[in-house]
């Protein structure tokens, strides 16, 4: 029965993951329609077509694999004489259509966060409520009532920022700033208690508690926005870590690693009940949708950000890059992206096999 429940939760995770990609394409679709761009097909799912119907100028189709969808616009990748083609619209309209997918992903993250946080009566803050016995943080000069505002140069706004910064910190050398009586106080660099995790790494062991905050409607909306923003900052900080070599291939997950993480989150949540397991999956999906929204807007070929870069160039120079050359760049970028995904997927499988 437990195995069946986990399988059901994994299916929920896969469907939610597909919905994340579908919602991304929905952003492109709605902005294209609002901008007067002809959409030839809007598909839910990928692969072989199960059925479709036409309404107006657009064909809507349901495809076999529930792993996303796509929005096929007239003149998106080729020349077109249609005045309603993507390529024939004003640059600013095309920019709005291109960035809509990523923005919709972030908006989806916000609404999912509302659902998760709306189930809680209180939220954690960054204000220190009390210390454990022989607390290293207290010995470093922190006091009850202090609000932690910076760790190792990383600004702290929410408890998610706090958890993320502590997870990345070196327990043998951590710097921290707090807000006390309206003033910022630098606690300097000090040592915190640590514990060793399964892979042998030493991580910070928290020796303090934070104040809870009671839920209100406005507080829920504000907190959901703040937590979504915190996740966006985590994505950006993680990307910086990859580029600087702080994180290696083993710290990056592809589709297989993501599925494993979803199943692990579901299994951990099941120890408390079915709803906590679903909430764990939704939190994973929030991170995925925010991640997709930000990464897709990076100025890289084959991504929306790459297309955005060409549009910005056209807007500045008043001269578009010939579509065939832009197509070559995106094709090369797509090839490299698929090669990278293959390497990451292989790494995921190897990591799972090796335990």
**Is residue 198 flagged as an active site residue?**
no
CA max distance for the chain: 75
The confidence score (pLDDT) of residue 188 equals: 93
Q: Which residue has the higher pLDDT, 65 or 7?
A: 65
pLDDT tens per residue across span 26-36: 999 999 999 99
Determine the average pLDDT of the residues in 337-353: 67
The Cα angle at residue 213 between residues 212 and 215, in degrees rounded to 5: 135
Q: What is the mean pLDDT of residues 101-108?
A: 95
Q: Which of 71-85, 252-266, 325-339 has the lowest mean pLDDT?
A: 252-266
pLDDT recorded at residue 1? 46
Mean pLDDT for the stretch of residues 152-177:
92
What local confidence, expressed as pLDDT, does residue 273 receive? 74
- Burial class from Cβ neighbours inside 10 Å (0-12, 13-18, 19+) for residue 51 reads exposed
| Of the listed ranges 37-41, 145-149, 341-345, the one predicted with least confidence | 341-345
Mean pLDDT score of the chain: 85
DSSP 256: H
Predicted pLDDT of residue 269: 63
CATH class of the domain defined by 123-214: mainly beta
User: What distance in Å separates the CA atoms of residue 266 and residue 53, rounded to the nearest whole number?
Assistant: 37
Return the percent helix, strand and coil in the chain, to nearest 5: 55, 20, 25
pLDDT at 281: 83
Reply yes or no on whether the pLDDT at 351 is more than 50: yes
Candidate list 25, 74, 76, 326, residue with the active-site label: 25
pLDDT bucket at 142, cuts 50 / 70 / 90: very high
Overall average pLDDT of the 320-349 stretch: 76
Q: Are 231 and 160 in contact (CB under 8 A)?
A: yes
Mean pLDDT (whole number) for 248-275: 65
| pLDDT level of residue 333 (50, 70, 90 thresholds) | confident
Phi-psi category of 301—alpha, beta or left, where left has phi over 0 and alpha has psi -120 to 50?
beta
Q: Work out the pLDDT band at 267, boundaries 50, 70, 90.
A: low
281, 269 contact by CB (below 8 A): yes
Retrieve residue 312's tokens: 């910005």
Cα 99–chain centre separation:
15
- Assess contact for 17 and 288: CB atoms under 8 A: yes
Top-confidence residue, 188 or 18 = 188
More confident residue, 214 or 205: 214
- Return d(Cα 350, Cα 355) in angstroms, integer: 8
Three-class secondary structure of residue 155 per DSSP: strand
Over residues 289-304, the pLDDT tens digits come to: 998 899 899 888 888 9
What is the 8-class DSSP label of residue 210? E
* Domain ranges, ordered by start, for the chain: 1-121+215-355, 123-214
Q: In whole angstroms, give the CA distance from residue 227 to residue 206.
A: 21
- The CA distances from residue 87 to 73, 144, 175, 304, in Å, are 9, 60, 51, 15
């Amino acid at each position: 029965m437990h195995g069946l429940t986990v399988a059901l939760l994994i299916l929920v995770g896969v469907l939610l993951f597909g919905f994340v990609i579908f919602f991304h394409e929905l952003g492109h679709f709605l902005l294209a329609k609002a901008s007067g761009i002809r959409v030839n097909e809007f598909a839910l799912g990928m692969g072989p077509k199960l059925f479709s119907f036409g309404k107006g100028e657009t064909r809507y189709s349901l495809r076999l694999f529930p792993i996303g969808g796509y929005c096929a616009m007239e003149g998106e990748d080729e020349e077109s004489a249609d005045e309603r083609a993507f390529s024939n619209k004003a640059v600013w309209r095309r920019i709005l259509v291109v960035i809509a997918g990523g923005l919709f992903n972030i908006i989806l993250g916000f609404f999912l966060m509302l659902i998760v946080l709306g189930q809680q009566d209180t939220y954690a803050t960054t204000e220190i409520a009390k210390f454990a016995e022989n607390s290293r943080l207290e010995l470093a000069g922190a006091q009850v009532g202090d609000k932690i505002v910076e760790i190792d140069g990383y600004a702290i706004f929410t408890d998610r920022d706090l958890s993320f910064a502590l997870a990345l910190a070196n327990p043998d050398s951590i710097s921290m700033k707090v807000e006390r009586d309206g003033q910022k106080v630098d606690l300097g660099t000090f040592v915190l208690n640590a514990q060793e995790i399964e892979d042998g790494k030493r991580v910070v062991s928290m020796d303090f508690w934070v104040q809870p905050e009671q839920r209100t409607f406005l507080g829920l909306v504000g907190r959901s926005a703040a937590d979504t923003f915190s996740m966006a900052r985590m994505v950006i900080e993680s990307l910086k870590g990859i580029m600087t070599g702080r994180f290696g291939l083993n710290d990056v997950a592809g589709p297989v690693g993501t599925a494993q993480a979803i199943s692990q989150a579901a299994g951990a949540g099941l120890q408390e009940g079915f709803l906590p397991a679903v909430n764990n999956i939704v939190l994973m999906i929030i991170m995925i949708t925010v991640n997709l929204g930000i990464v897709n807007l990076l100025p890289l070929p084959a991504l929306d950000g790459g297309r955005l870069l060409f549009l910005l160039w056209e807007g500045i120079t008043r001269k578009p890059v010939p579509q065939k050359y832009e197509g070559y760049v995106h094709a090369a970028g797509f090839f490299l992206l698929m090669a990278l995904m293959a390497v990451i997927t292989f790494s995921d499988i190897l990591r799972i096999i090796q335990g």
